[in-house]
Structure 1
Amino acid sequence: MNPLSFVVPFDQAAALTQIRAEGARFIAGGTNLVDLMKERVMLPQRLVDINHLDLDAIEETGDGGLLLGALARNAATAYHPLVQERYPLLSAAILAGASPQIRNMASNGGNLLQRTRCHYFYDAGVPCNKREPGTGCPAIGGISRQHAILGASDSCIATHPSDMCVALRALDAVVHVASGNGERAIPFGEFHRLPGDQPQIDTNLAPHELITHIVLPAAPQFAAHAVYLKLRERASYAFALVSVAAMLDIGEDGVIREGRVALGGVAHKPWRVEEAEALLRGVPDPARFGAFADRLLQGAQGQGGNDFKMVMARRAIVRALSMAAAGTHDNTGHGSTVMARGAA
């Protein structure tokens, strides 16, 4: 049996004190951490329940953006009127993930911190560099259908599982955190890490830091042309093989002034290449979108079992951009594409 203590602080200062104990972990919805504890992949010695902290607000910022509290639930975020009106991409991404029951429990901060669903990582009986550094990565040369084609390393080819995070990457969100040393803001593109030779470290969150809120910059120019496209094995409760968050700013003349695209299911973190997005400027057409897709996927490498993702991702990027150019769809989560077994 793994000894475990459970504490319930009622203010942020107390929570930041409790988390400094050896083996302590924050818990909010617990939709990922509890699973990992059941599988004995993570064995915290103390759980610090932060659900009583005042971190669940969803409100406007002074410059027209939106603040999402770390403890606001995913469902509350997806269905919030300001999210649906101003950031339909985020609403669609959240609703494409998990199940209604899980979205009712999962917190925004916890969504950012969820760990890979790599089956080798979840199996404590096999080696895994992410779980036990230095033991190897059996996915390399093994079953790799769900694994990364971009940003991987010789140590790890796992993918990040979140749908919400793919949208947040496209939206240039900023993560705000607090610790006993003060507060800081982390641009979303710098929050998650590529595996390198330290795949056990998923984020650039420092030890004992607490996510307090996420800020979305004002982006009204994208609301009318935003699509989240998710390709997966089945219609519900499946993680992405490939997902695309696409947003376009299209002028009255029909010309794309700016575009943003982030990918999920293909890397250790939501994948975006900002300098490639200049290729999206101009008249929307499949050739332009294809050239952009080729640049975004530059350097992609499969492991045999996931080679199909390179073709699938290119087609998904072109399709998502074409859908976005036509206008924002009814982003209820029911319209995401289902892929059968096989390639694109």
Structure 2
Amino acid sequence: MDALAYQRAADIDAALSAAQQPGAAFIGGGTNLLDLMKGGIAHPLRLIDITRIAALDGIEALPDGGLRIGALVRNSDAANHTLVRTRYPLLSQALLAGASPQLRNMATVGGNLMQRTRCGYFYDTAFAQCNKRAPGSGCAARDGFNRMHAILGASAQCVAVNPSDMSVALAALDATVQVRGPNGARAIPIAQFHRLPGDRPELDTTLAHGELITSVDLPPPAFAEHAHYLKLRDRQSYAFALVSVAAALQLDGRRVRAARIALGGVAHKPWRASLAEQQLIGQTLDAATLRAAAATELAHAQPLGDNAFKVELAQRAIVRAALQAAGGAENFADNAFGGLA
């Protein structure tokens, strides 16, 4: 690791002031940043410790009926908070699907949002070709081993995927990320917080230098009754998603009044399945209807050499997650799949 300075901030203003120095980076739980530093990928010159800022650590109901989760709230605390479990079960399920209990006890909500995309070529500096580490050097994953990589929204510059389970649920719930920086406060809709790679894959988010996440705000609960987070992975714990789905529904009997579906493991950012959502509105919920909507959403997928299976897997996952959200596949018997995922 490189030599660096360390500073503990007493409040938000102190943190923002310290962050204006060149090479400064905020650190909360550090579960991703420290790995990047030890691997020689991140090279901050100064760490600004924000863990003692009380204003960032708390969960409170908002006047409009929504919920505010502070940036320093640990993932395990957020997942098990009464208001999250009862009003936003989709978020609780997603948080509990992430990482391991030890990491959830340390990782923060703000840090979870700031995770770098996961790609073996990015994390291994022995590979010189990585546009995320060294812009303009190329993308080794495109012609390399790319089983875990993107099938949607990728570019010639990068095919890495966002690793966060929490962010997939937040995308489905239309959360808002509150930030403060040298130019004041602003609210960033979660759909605009993470970036697709385009020609700037080194930028994972739309945060400006020196901006600090202060909280995540959730709108008033509207999808608590029918919600399910499905994560498909190589092993049950401590593994990133091959494909994940956050599904939340409003139903009139079996008819879909509103749908929220977001995918993980398929793109550089949580992928809101807007086409599938729109196709489901007003339809009778069954596997055939879901299969058609999922096929529409994945119609423009561009798989690579090792991950073509993700196209079918994502479609099956949408069907399974939505049926589970509705109340279990056993309540909606349908053999349109020839066996559900």
Instruction: Determine if the TM-score, normalized by the shorter chain, exceeds 0.5.
Output: yes
Unaligned runs of 5+ residues in structure 1 are 329-343
- In structure 2, the partner of 1:312 is 313
CA–CA distance in 1 between the matches of 2:111 and 2:296? 32
Residue type of the alignment partner of 1:300:
A
Choose 139-148 or 271-280, whichever is displaced more: 271-280
Structure 1 residue 327, shift from structure 2 partner: 5.7
Per-residue CA deviations over 1:219-278 (Å, capped at 9, x if unaligned) read 23x111100000000011000000000001012x33210011000000000001335412
Instruction: Give the total of aligned pairs.
Output: 327
1:256 alignment partner, SS class = strand
1:259 alignment partner, SS class = strand
- In structure 2, the partner of 1:114 is 115
Structure 1 residue 41, shift from structure 2 partner: 0.6
Question: 8 Å contact 2:275–2:297 — kept in the other structure?
Answer: no
- In structure 1, the partner of 2:85 is 84
CA–CA distance in 1 between the matches of 2:264 and 2:146? 16
Structure 1 residue 156, shift from structure 2 partner: 0.2
CA–CA distance in 2 between the matches of 1:277 and 1:308? 23
Identity %: 58
Residue type of the alignment partner of 2:303:
G
Per-residue CA deviations over 1:189-237 (Å, capped at 9, x if unaligned) read 00000000100000001111000001000123x1111000000000110
CA–CA distance in 2 between the matches of 1:2 and 1:63? 46
- In structure 2, the partner of 1:130 is 132
Question: 8 Å contact 2:171–2:191 — kept in the other structure?
Answer: yes
CA–CA distance in 2 between the matches of 1:147 and 1:86? 33
1:19-168 equivalent positions in 2, closer than 5 A: 19-54=19-54, 55-126=56-127, 127-168=129-170
Question: 8 Å contact 1:149–1:301 — kept in the other structure?
Answer: yes
Residue type of the alignment partner of 1:98:
A
1:7 matched to 2:4? The reply is no
Residue type of the alignment partner of 2:87:
R
- In structure 1, the partner of 2:17 is 17
Residue type of the alignment partner of 2:272:
R
Question: 8 Å contact 1:157–1:268 — kept in the other structure?
Answer: yes
- In structure 2, the partner of 1:301 is 302
TM-score (norm 1): 0.93
TM-score (norm 2): 0.94
1:139 alignment partner, SS class = helix
Structure 1 residue 30, shift from structure 2 partner: 0.2
CA–CA distance in 1 between the matches of 2:2 and 2:278? 52
